[in-house]
């Protein structure tokens, strides 16, 4: 099986690439992965072809997508903060490039599996305490609007028989490894990751701000599951609200304290940023996700485990007195 | 005040043009109306400039939209049946041309009022018996998907301060004068209009099929109201489900019988068309529309009045024995 992954240079894509090469899809080995991104795929494996290019360029897609393409995972996006700051860039990448990709998938004539990632930013306005599977989308950011437009297109291309599409509304990923990015939610990883690395972290929102979170490991479980899932189970609604954890920023810091000790948490400095507050506060922070669970999608058990898994994967120090002997 | 109307050659636009020239907008006279359509605006008035061109062409919009443009009414669309039959045409007109128009409105820098018309086709899937104001959109046709994408763009361009937008989800218009069109709902006018003109009408759905209807007169009331309404009253949701009448096809025929006599109804021939049945059955047929009523939008009193108003406007014969003396 041959898979194309956009945004293939990112950390989530790298993890997905490793998972797919190791485990295949639904028992079938993955023989080739073609990544498209502005940076190369950091995973080194002879089965990987890493195309360093703009997904908005037609030639890139012509080169990447061939009759052998069995599935496409579309992760590339201009993230929330950036799409708000640069409206035209967000429209070009999040809408136009998504459409081009869908057109190329349609052109194959083979109805390939197409996995698209949307976001909690699809929701906004007067939200119920917990978002239900039939809660309407009312995005209050350009990123959210662009993601919902992608969901609609994936749904219609599927209904028309051009692709076999699934959109996952992915919770905010925490703890995301690597450097901060331009997502308004970047701090939701930074306030754990930076202190564990001995660095100061800026928290632009209050401890009361509640978020809907998922660890990178569970996100990969869910992306891999979406590649293997029988599309017919989704009926006439190809968009799935993933399960996750509803965690307040204060609870995230408590979990960091439990996993890594009090001293580490003192590296978090609060510096309110009204622009970030406004965007993040417009997102829902709790979901029912009954349908996703029934379809086999998964969530983390609790946020302390999420912090511990991040520490294990990065080799972060355990709190004093709990260090294993060197 | 200067107003640009796309789809300006259509019957709804012609009625709107007359209304605006006669009544102005919120007490201000309309000094100039520029229509854009593939056919000329049939209304003759020195205040009308009728541009016969494709709204997808950049030069057309450059010519039509100027710093004097106070409002834009975007009625032009590839209708439901046609957008389903020709996917690419629907995408080009219903999405790309809408975006171009929004970009030109944004380019003015004056935040013009932008009235967009969406449809009951925005909804689909498992619907409640009556669509509520917060019922989610789950369109099951390409037309519906394209309209919801337009709604999202109008909302975001408004939120960003580029336009002052309002989208009306207009019920199926009945009785639409003129010739049948390629809308799946075309019969909802045809089964009244054609028999009243002494012609046979084909009804492609069963008498049980229920629809959400609005007369042309009420649609014009609502479009004119949308031009005058204070946008701030709409808050963070710029899309309004218009009020209407929930009428089964059998009840429409009963109303025709009451208004015009039994003989006329015998001109309706039933010839089920599964493609039309499928599209129309996917649309909701009853709405709560509480918000729209609170905002001052209106519905017809009953369907018999709608038929009578159509007869009055076209000079159709009353039933035998009820004719006024010649």
In whole angstroms, what is the distance from residue A182 CA to residue A83 CA?
Answer: 9
Question: Each residue of A282-297: pLDDT tens digit?
Answer: 899 999 999 999 999 9
Residue B151 makes CB contacts below 8 A (sequence gap 6+) with: B116, B118, B122, B137, B167, B169, B238, B239
Widest distance between CA atoms in chain A? 61
Question: Each residue of A4-13: pLDDT tens digit?
Answer: 999 988 889 9
Query: Quick check: is B143 catalytic?
Result: yes
- Least CA distance to A238: which residue of chain B? B138
Rg (CA), chain B: 19
Mean pLDDT rounded to a whole number for chain B:
94
Nearest to B145 among A139, A145, A155 (CB): A155
Instruction: Say whether residue A100 is in contact with chain B using an 8 A CB cutoff.
Output: no
In whole angstroms, what is the distance from residue B204 CA to residue B217 CA?
Answer: 26
Q: Which of A139, A36, A77, A160 is nearest to B145 (CA)?
A: A160
**What is the reported pLDDT for A325?**
42
- Cα three-residue angle A111-A116-A120, rounded to 5 degrees: 150
Q: Got the DSSP string for B120-135?
A: GGG--SS--SSB-TTB
- Tell me the CATH number for domain B2-171+215-241: 3.40.50.720
The nearest CA of chain A is from the CA of B148 a distance in Å of 8
C-alpha to C-alpha distances, B313 to A4, B193, B304, B316, nearest whole angstrom: 59, 11, 14, 8
Nearest to B156 among A125, A134, A145 (CB): A145
Mean pLDDT rounded to a whole number for chain A:
94
pLDDT band at A153 (very low <50, low <70, confident <90, very high): very high
Q: Which of A216, A222, A85 is nearest to A143 (CA)?
A: A85
Question: Each residue of B253-277: pLDDT tens digit?
Answer: 999 999 999 999 999 999 999 999 9
Nearest to A87 among B137, B138, B160 (CB): B160
In whole angstroms, what is the distance from residue A285 CA to residue A245 CA?
Answer: 9
Residue A323 in this model has a pLDDT that exceeds 60:
no
DSSP state of A242: -
Average pLDDT, stretch A160-180? 95
**What is the reported pLDDT for A318?**
57
Residue B323 in this model has a pLDDT that exceeds 50:
no
Name the β-bridge partners of A119. Answer: A170
C-alpha to C-alpha distances, A326 to A196, A262, A318, B145, B164, nearest whole angstrom: 18, 22, 12, 59, 64
Residues of chain A with C-beta less than 8 angstroms from the C-beta of B134: 126, 136
In whole angstroms, what is the distance from residue B148 CA to residue B169 CA?
Answer: 10
Helix axes B187-196, B303-314, angle to 10 degrees: 50
**What is the reported pLDDT for A181?**
85
Question: Each residue of B120-178: pLDDT tens digit?
Answer: 999 999 999 999 999 999 999 999 999 999 999 999 999 999 999 999 999 999 999 98
**What is the reported pLDDT for A317?**
59
**Right CATH number for A2-172+214-241 from 3.40.50.720, 1.20.58.390, 3.40.710.10, 3.40.50.620?**
3.40.50.720
Average pLDDT, stretch A251-277? 97
Q: Which of B218, B209, B230 is nearest to B289 (CA)?
A: B218
Stated length of chain A:
326
Residues of chain A with C-beta less than 8 angstroms from the C-beta of B235: 125
| Range scoring the smallest mean pLDDT among A156-165, A173-182, B113-122 | A173-182
Contact assessment for residue B315 and residue B223, using Cβ atoms and an 8 Å cutoff:
no
CB atoms A236 and B140 under 8 Å: yes
Architecture of the domain delimited by B187-211+244-287+300-314: Alpha-Beta Complex (3.90)
In whole angstroms, what is the distance from residue B235 CA to residue B269 CA?
Answer: 47
Task: Please tell me whether the peptide bond between B281 and the residue prior to it is cis, using omega within 30 degrees of 0.
Answer: no
As annotated, the residues of chain B forming the CATH 3.40.50.720 domain(s) are 2-171+215-241
**What is the reported pLDDT for B318?**
57
In whole angstroms, what is the distance from residue A248 CA to residue A205 CA?
Answer: 11
Contact assessment for residue B153 and residue B147, using Cβ atoms and an 8 Å cutoff:
no
Nearest to A136 among B87, B137, B142 (CB): B137
Residue B321 in this model has a pLDDT that exceeds 50:
no
- SS3 label, residue B242: coil
- Report the percent of chain A where pLDDT is more than 90: 89
The nearest CA of chain A is from the CA of B238 a distance in Å of 10
Question: Each residue of A128-138: pLDDT tens digit?
Answer: 999 999 999 99
Q: Can you list the alpha helix ranges (DSSP code H) found in chain B?
A: 11-23, 58-64, 80-85, 87-90, 98-108, 142-159, 187-196, 216-228, 249-260, 262-265, 274-281, 290-294, 303-314
Question: Each residue of B163-177: pLDDT tens digit?
Answer: 999 999 999 999 999
C-alpha to C-alpha distances, A280 to A132, A268, A285, B241, nearest whole angstrom: 19, 19, 9, 28
Question: Each residue of A61-74: pLDDT tens digit?
Answer: 999 999 999 999 99
Name which of A132, A138, A169 to mutate to probe chain B: the one with the most chain B Cβ atoms within 10 A of its Cβ: A138
Dihedral in degrees, nearest 10, Cα atoms A61, A96, B125, A211: 100
Residue B234's φ and ψ, nearest 5 degrees, are -85, -10
Residue B326 in this model has a pLDDT that exceeds 50:
no
**What is the reported pLDDT for A277?**
92
CB atoms B156 and A142 under 8 Å: yes
In whole angstroms, what is the distance from residue B157 CA to residue B35 CA?
Answer: 22
121-140 of B, contacting A, C-beta below 8 A: 124-126, 134-140
Residue A319 in this model has a pLDDT that exceeds 90:
no
Q: Which of B103, B56, B106 is nearest to B76 (CA)?
A: B56
In whole angstroms, what is the distance from residue B150 CA to residue B156 CA?
Answer: 10
The nearest CA of chain B is from the CA of A205 a distance in Å of 22
User: Measured in Å, how far apart are chain A's first and last C-alpha atoms?
Assistant: 43
Question: Each residue of B193-226: pLDDT tens digit?
Answer: 999 999 999 999 999 999 999 999 999 999 999 9
In whole angstroms, what is the distance from residue B243 CA to residue B169 CA?
Answer: 9
Stated length of chain B:
326
Name which of A139, A142, A152 to mutate to probe chain B: the one with the most chain B Cβ atoms within 10 A of its Cβ: A152
Residue B77 in this model has a pLDDT that exceeds 90:
yes
Cα four-point dihedral sign A20, A25, A27, A31: negative
- SS3 label, residue B149: helix
In whole angstroms, what is the distance from residue B228 CA to residue B219 CA?
Answer: 14
Residues of chain A with C-beta less than 8 angstroms from the C-beta of B155: 139, 145
The nearest CA of chain B is from the CA of A126 a distance in Å of 9
pTM of the complete model beyond 0.90: yes
Residue B324 in this model has a pLDDT that exceeds 50:
no
pLDDT band at B119 (very low <50, low <70, confident <90, very high): very high
**What is the reported pLDDT for B317?**
59
- SS3 label, residue B182: coil
């Amino acid at each position: 099986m041959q898979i194309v992954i956009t945004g293939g240079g990112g950390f989530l894509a790298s993890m997905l690439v490793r998972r797919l090469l190791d485990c295949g899809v639904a028992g079938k080995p993955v023989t080739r992965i073609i990544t498209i991104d502005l940076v190369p795929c950091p995973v080194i494996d002879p089965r990987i072809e890493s195309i360093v290019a703009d997904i908005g360029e037609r030639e890139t897609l012509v080169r990447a997508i061939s009759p052998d393409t069995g599935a496409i995972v579309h992760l590339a996006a201009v993230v929330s903060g950036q799409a708000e700051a640069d409206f035209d860039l967000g429209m070009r990448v999040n809408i136009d490039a998504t459409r081009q990709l869908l057109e190329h998938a349609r052109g194959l004539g083979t109805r390939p599996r197409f996995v698209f990632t949307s976001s909690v930013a699809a929701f906004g306005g007067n939200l119920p305490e917990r978002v239900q599977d039939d809660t309407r989308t009312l995005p209050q950011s350009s990123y959210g609007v662009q993601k919902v437009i992608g969901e609609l297109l994936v749904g219609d291309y599927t209904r028309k028989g051009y692709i076999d599409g699934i959109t996952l509304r992915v919770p905010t990923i925490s703890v995301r490894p690597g450097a901060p990015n331009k997502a308004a939610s970047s701090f939701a990883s930074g306030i754990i990751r930076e202190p564990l690395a001995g660095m100061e972290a800026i928290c632009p929102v209050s401890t009361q701000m509640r978020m809907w979170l998922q660890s990178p490991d569970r996100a990969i479980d869910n992306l891999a599951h979406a590649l293997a899932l029988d599309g017919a189970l989704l009926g006439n609604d190809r968009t799935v609200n993933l399960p996750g954890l509803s965690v307040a920023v204060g609870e995230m810091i408590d979990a960091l304290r439990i996993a890594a000790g009090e001293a580490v948490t003192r590296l978090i400095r609060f510096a309110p940023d009204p622009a970030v507050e406004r965007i993040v506060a417009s997102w829902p922070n709790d979901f029912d996700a009954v349908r996703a669970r029934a379809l086999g999608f998964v969530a983390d058990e609790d946020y302390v485990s999420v912090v511990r898994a991040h520490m294990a994967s990065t080799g972060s120090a355990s709190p004093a007195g709990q260090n294993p002997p060197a």
